Structure formats: C-alpha cells, structure tokens
C-alpha cells in the first residue's frame, strides 16, 4: 500500500461525503491507497444516510482535537506515505497520482496547492476575500510551514518526529512541519498536487480567527512567555509591516475595497480578542482545536 489518506471530521457529514467520493475517483489505482475517516464527535453517532465507498475505514476518536484524530488515524494506517486532507476539501482526481513522483527519493514532505472555490449558495464577498488571503502554500511551504488541508509525509518520518503535537490548540500542522524541516527533512511545494477548498462564509472566517488568535496566544505564551498585552502590540505592529500580497494586484478597485474592508474588520476583531484575554473576559484554553 503506497498511500494512507487520513481525514478527521467533526459533524461535517455532507461535505465529508463529497470528499470521500472525490477520493474514491482518484486516477491512481484503488489498490495503491486506503482512506481512513476519523470521526472526532463526542458520541460517535453516524447519520444513517451517510454513504462511504467500499474500503473506506471509519473509526471514532472521542477526545476533542483534529490533530489527536489525525494521530489516531495514522496508528491504523498501513501506507508508506500519509496524505492528509480535511472533510470539507475536494481533492483533484490526480491528487495522489501527481504526488507519488515527489517521493521517489527527492522529498520527505509535500505541501500541495490549495485552490478556493465558491460553494453553492456561498457569499461572493467571502469567496473573493479567501481567494486572495487564504492558503498561500507556495509562500509558506518553502519556509517549512505546511497545512493539513493538503499535506503528504512519509510515514517513517511522521513516526520519528512523534506525530502532531496534541498539547497545542492551534497551528499543530505548522508546528509539525517546522519540526521536520528543522530536523533536516526536505519539504517541497508541489503546484500540481491540488486540493480544492470551499470559501468560508463571513461567520466561519471570524470563527476561525477566534480559534487562531486564542490558540496562537497560548502557543506564544508557552514558548516565549509573552504577555497578552505584548501580543496585542505585536498584532497592531504587524498590520503596518506585513508582507505584500501580490494577488491584490489582480483585483479591480471595487474588489480591493471589499478585501480591505473585511481585512480591517478581521484586524479589529482580533484586537478585541486580545483585549478580552488581557481583561480575563476570554479564556483561550476553552477553544476547541
């Protein structure tokens, strides 16, 4: 068995259905990969109408946390290469076929391209914003930062590095890939290893940034001992010193106004979260990874 595809899910059954269907239709021969779905719900109750293609394994991991679920999936896997994606993603039909070439002695980890699409009934403004701002794998992977929406890694490397750190609330994928690259393992970006990701609605975008802000604050406090006040200062400073996003150059004036407006709201929202932690009105430990 060449690949083990690991998919954690948390009560996301309808989108999981689309994900596993796309995986079942890969151009790579079906005997070359297995699909392991890890249900991370508390009760482990699966809808009766859920259809899983033949050979898809469904296991239950009740302990909250997507990276805990991923580690559990790896324990059940038999493939030489672990392929991680999420239940809301739709892998391209050539995802695994194209990925295999990079593991012929040239790399240990692969971070593939993530393309944003507008789901049926989805907000065009959210789609525009995420298309410009989300999942810059081409920039982050060369820096050692890969995301589990589209990450492949040799299983022996994963085991040697101890898997995902389940003690942190956010950024477990970046933490893992950075540990790997710092240990000397090679990670490359592959533009032709494609996974499609739906644009979130505005509520989901801000919900995500609540989790990222709280989880990132816990990580920073643990690693550097910084206060939440100092983090707020760094957040404000970064607003004026951040890297240029070349995708903005492709937008017309109206589109730029929309992206900038949402970005300002996100900046203010994250500032309020930091302020809430400073005043002890928000407990970052209570977020669900």
51 and 170 share one domain: yes
Q: Which of 198, 228, 246 is the C-terminal boundary of a domain?
A: 198
80 and 223 share one domain: no
* Domain range for 273: 202-286
91 and 159 share one domain: yes
| pLDDT for res 169 | 78
Q: List helix spans (H) across 33-123.
A: 66-75, 95-99
82 and 115 share one domain: yes
16 and 116 share one domain: yes
Q: Which of 140, 173, 198 is the C-terminal boundary of a domain?
A: 198
222 and 120 share one domain: no
Sign for the CA dihedral angle at 130, 163, 55, 93 comes to: positive
Task: Tell me how many domains the chain contains.
Answer: 2
Q: Which of 137, 172, 198 is the C-terminal boundary of a domain?
A: 198
Contacts of 266 (CB under 8 A, 6+ apart): 205, 206, 209
| pLDDT for res 1 | 67
170 and 45 share one domain: yes
The model's pTM is: 0.91
Question: Is 96 within 8 Å of 174 (Cβ atoms)?
Answer: no
| pLDDT for res 103 | 94
Closest CA to 92 of 15, 9, 25: 25
Domain containing residue 130: CATH number: 3.90.550.10
The one-digit pLDDT tens for each residue of the chain (289 residues) are 699 999 999 999 999 999 999 999 999 999 999 999 999 999 988 998 888 888 899 999 999 999 999 999 999 999 999 999 999 999 999 999 999 999 988 899 999 999 999 998 888 999 999 999 989 999 999 999 999 999 999 999 999 999 999 988 788 999 999 999 999 999 999 999 999 999 999 999 999 999 999 999 998 998 899 999 999 999 999 887 766 677 787 788 898 999 999 999 999 999 999 999 999 999 999 888 7
21 and 153 share one domain: yes
């Amino acid at each position: 068995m060449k690949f083990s595809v690991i998919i954690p899910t948390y009560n996301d059954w309808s989108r999981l259905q689309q994900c596993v269907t796309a995986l079942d239709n890969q151009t790579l021969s079906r005997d070359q990969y297995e699909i392991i779905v890890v249900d991370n719900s508390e009760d482990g109750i699966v809808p009766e109408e859920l259809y899983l293609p033949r050979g898809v394994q469904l296991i239950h991991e009740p302990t909250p946390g997507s990276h805990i679920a991923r580690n559990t999936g790896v324990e059940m896997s038999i493939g030489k290469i672990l392929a991680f994606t999420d239940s809301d993603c739709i892998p391209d039909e050539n995802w695994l076929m194209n990925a295999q070439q990079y593991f012929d002695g040239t790399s240990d980890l692969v971070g593939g391209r993530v393309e944003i699409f507008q789901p049926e009934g989805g907000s065009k403004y959210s789609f525009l914003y995420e298309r410009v701002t989300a999942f810059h794998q081409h920039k982050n992977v060369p820096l050692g930062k890969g995301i589990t929406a589209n990450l492949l890694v040799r299983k022996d490397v994963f085991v040697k590095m101890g898997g995902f750190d389940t003690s942190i609330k956010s950024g477990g994928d970046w933490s893992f890939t950075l540990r790997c690259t710092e240990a000397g393992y090679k990670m490359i970006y592959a533009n032709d290893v494609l996974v499609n990701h739906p644009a979130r609605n505005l509520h989901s975008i801000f919900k995500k940034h609540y989790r990222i802000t709280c989880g990132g604050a816990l990580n920073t406090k643990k690693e550097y001992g910084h206060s939440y006040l100092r983090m707020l200062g760094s957040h404000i400073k970064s607003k004026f010193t951040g890297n240029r996003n070349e995708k903005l150059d492709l937008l017309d004036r109206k589109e730029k106004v929309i992206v900038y407006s949402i970005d300002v709201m996100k900046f203010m929202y994250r500032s309020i979260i930091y302020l809430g932690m400073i005043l002890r009105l928000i407990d970052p430990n209570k977020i669900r990874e």
